[in-house]
Amino acid sequence: MKSGIPLKSVRTAVNKALARMPVVDIHTHLFDPAMGNLLLWGIDELITYHYLVAEVFRARPDMEYKSFFNLSKPRQADLVWDELFVRRSPVSEACRGVLTVLQALGLNSNAKSLAGLRRYFSGQTAQGYVDKVFKLAGVSRVYMTNDPLDPAERKVWERGFERDPRFRGVLRLDGVLMAWPQGCERLQAMGYGVDSSLSGQTMAEIRRFLREWCRRLEAGYMAVSLPPSFRYPDVTSSLTSLLIKAVLPVAKELDLPVAMMIGVKKLVNPVLGLAGDSVGKADIENLERLANDFRGNRFLVTCLARENMHELCVAARKFKNITPFGCWWFLNTPSLIREITAMRLELLGLSFIPQHSDARVLDQLIYKWNHSRAVIGGVLADKYEDLVRTGRRVTEADITRDLKLLFDGGRLR
Q: Which residues in this chain contact ligand FIX in the complex, by CB under 6 A?
A: 29, 145, 225, 261, 274, 329, 358, 360
Segment interacting with Zn ion, rule: CB under 5 A, options 52-60, 118-126, 272-280, 350-358? 350-358
Rounded CA-CA distance 148/190 in Å is 9
The yes or no reply on residue 153 touching Zn ion (CB under 5 A) is no
Which CB sits closer to ligand FIX, 29 or 154?
29
Segment interacting with Zn ion, rule: CB under 5 A, options 136-144, 168-176, 353-361, 388-396? 353-361
Q: Within 72-101, which residues bind Zn ion (CB under 5 A)?
A: none
Name the nearest CA neighbour of 407 among 359, 354, 366, 357: 354
The yes or no reply on residue 358 touching Zn ion (CB under 5 A) is yes
How many residues sit close enough to Zn ion to count as binding (CB under 5 A)? 1
Buried b (16+ CB within 10 A) or exposed e, 134-170: bebbbbbbbbbbbbbbeeebbebeeeeeeebebbbbb
Which CB sits closer to Zn ion, 358 or 402?
358
- One-character DSSP codes across 281-296: ---THHHHHHHHHTTT
CB of 358 to ligand FIX, least distance (A): 4
Looking at 21-83, list the stretches that DSSP marks H as alpha helix, in order from N- to C-terminal side. Answer: 43-47, 50-59, 65-69, 73-80
Cα distance between the two ends of the chain: 35
CB of 274 to Zn ion, least distance (A): 10
Which CB sits closer to ligand FIX, 16 or 360?
360
Contact 260, 170 (CB under 8 A): no
Which CB sits closer to ligand FIX, 129 or 143?
143
Taking CB within 5 to 8 Å according to partner kind, which of ligand FIX, Zn ion, none is near residue 83?
A: none
Segment interacting with Zn ion, rule: CB under 5 A, options 135-143, 252-260, 356-364, 371-379? 356-364
Which CB sits closer to ligand FIX, 170 or 345?
170
CB of 135 to ligand FIX, least distance (A): 23
Which CB sits closer to Zn ion, 368 or 383?
368
Taking CB within 5 to 8 Å according to partner kind, which of Zn ion, ligand FIX, none is near residue 329?
A: ligand FIX
Find all residues with CB under 8 Å of 203, minimum gap 6, and list them: 241, 242, 245, 246
Residues forming contacts to Zn ion in the complex (CB under 5 A) are 358
